[in-house]
């Protein structure tokens, strides 16, 4: 992982610089997140953490996810059924296209929706957060 901000040493230092403790529970959560590729729900994270430490509580996981999001290590979005998902170490802002039939998900990069975002921002006056953009449809396989 090298200089990756998800490294344990880097995260521990960032927490301590903010006056926060480095606990075994936070370490376990970071270990699971570091081994995660892409998206994970908080329920999945709790389940994986409990495999390491059965005493893991959902509230500890949720508080840690909130903290990690403030630090920029995870970013939340909403899945096809409205559930909260976390993207680990998001390198770029992106939205999602979700199949209403099978639930498959594909990422939408900023280039793909640049015109749509510009039009929405101009019309509404809002600054669009692409991380919360989810478009429903039917994937090629299900069609």
- Return the pLDDT at 90: 61
Can you tell me the distance from the alpha carbon of 33 to that of 74, in angstroms, rounded to the nearest whole number? 9
User: Alpha carbon 20 to chain centroid distance?
Assistant: 22
- Return the pLDDT at 80: 62
User: Which CATH number describes the domain made up of 8-88?
Assistant: 1.10.10.10
- Return the pLDDT at 5: 46
Per DSSP, 20 falls in state -
Q: Flag whether the pTM goes above 0.85.
A: no
- Return the pLDDT at 3: 39
Can you tell me the distance from the alpha carbon of 109 to that of 45, in angstroms, rounded to the nearest whole number? 25
User: Which residues does the chain have with pLDDT short of 50?
Assistant: 1-3, 5
Task: Specify the CATH superfamily of domain 95-137.
Answer: Ferric-uptake regulator, C-terminal dimerisarion domain (3.30.1490.190)
Q: Which residue has the tokens 């770029």?
A: 92
77-107: buried (b, 16+ CB within 10 Å) or exposed (e) per residue?
beebeeeebbbbbbeeebbbbbbeeeeebee
- Return the pLDDT at 7: 56
Please give the backbone phi and psi of residue 101, each rounded to the nearest 5 degrees, phi first: -90, -55
Domain-wise residue ranges, the chain: 8-88, 95-137
């Amino acid at each position: 992982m090298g200089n990756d901000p998800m490294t344990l040493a880097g995260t521990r230092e960032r927490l301590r610089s903010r006056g926060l403790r480095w606990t075994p529970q936070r370490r376990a959560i970071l270990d699971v997140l570091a081994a995660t590729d892409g998206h994970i729900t908080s329920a999945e994270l709790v389940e994986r953490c409990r495999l390491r430490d059965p005493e893991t509580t959902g509230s500890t996981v949720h508080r840690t996810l909130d903290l990690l999001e403030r630090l920029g290590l995870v970013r939340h979005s909403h899945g096809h059924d409205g559930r909260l998902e976390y993207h680990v170490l998001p390198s770029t802002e992106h939205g999602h296209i979700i199949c209403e039939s099978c639930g498959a998900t594909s990422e939408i990069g900023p280039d793909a929706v640049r015109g749509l975002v510009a039009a929405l921002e101009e019309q509404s006056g809002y600054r669009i957060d692409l991380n919360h953009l989810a478009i429903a449809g039917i994937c090629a396989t299900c069609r």
